[in-house]
Amino acid sequence: MAFSRDAALGAGLAVIVVAAIVAGLVVTGGPGEARRMKEDQLREAALASTANVLVCLQKAGVEIPEAPEQLEAAWKQYRSSAEVTCFNGELRADPITDTPFALKRQDGRVAQICAVFATRRKQDDGPLIFRETNALPSLGDRRETAGEQCFDLNYSADVG
């Protein structure tokens, strides 16, 4: 009788442990979800840096070309010749796919920068403290779904 009670207790404990592990994976999404979230954080940093470049070029009166190669050349030319360069901007591609970010134009200038995210953003970062220096003030907002997201550029940002 004691053996079957101990076996039942052990089996019950094993079920509880397995259920806790499964529940933890469901809540956190597991290592795959964590990897995708980290990739999206890298993507956000690259977007912010590239947006600073776009704002800097626009303020300097440099026309932003359509082709990514021409944009890179324009940025290099600006950085080599300008007295004051944007210290917090670097023209970057998506760090995961290595493709340039999509730029949407309106009235002859780039109005939005877009990226494809692997995850939704479950919470926002709240209002950014230095919104006046941020070229993408809505980047930290909640994303309801994964997929393509576009962000308005803040051309009044003091990007340095």
Segment 103-112, tens digit of pLDDT: 999 988 899 9
Q: How far apart are CA 19 and CA 67, in angstroms?
A: 52
If you average pLDDT over every residue of the chain, what do you get? 83
As a whole number of Å, the CA-based R_g of the chain is 23
Of residues 144 and 12, the one with the higher pLDDT is 144
pLDDT greater than 80 at residue 150: yes
Strands 102-106 and 147-152: unpaired
Higher pLDDT, 50 or 27: 50
Predicted confidence (pLDDT) per residue in 99-134, tens digit:
999 999 998 889 999 999 999 887 765 544 455 568
What is the secondary structure of 119-160 as a DSSP string? S-B-S---S-TTGGG-S-TTTTS-BSSSEEEEEE--TT----
Instruction: Identify the three-state secondary structure at position 63.
Output: coil
Domain spans in the chain, listed from the N-terminal domain onward: 31-152
Residues 68-100: tens digit of each pLDDT: 999 999 998 888 887 766 777 889 999 999 999
pLDDT reported for residue 129? 47
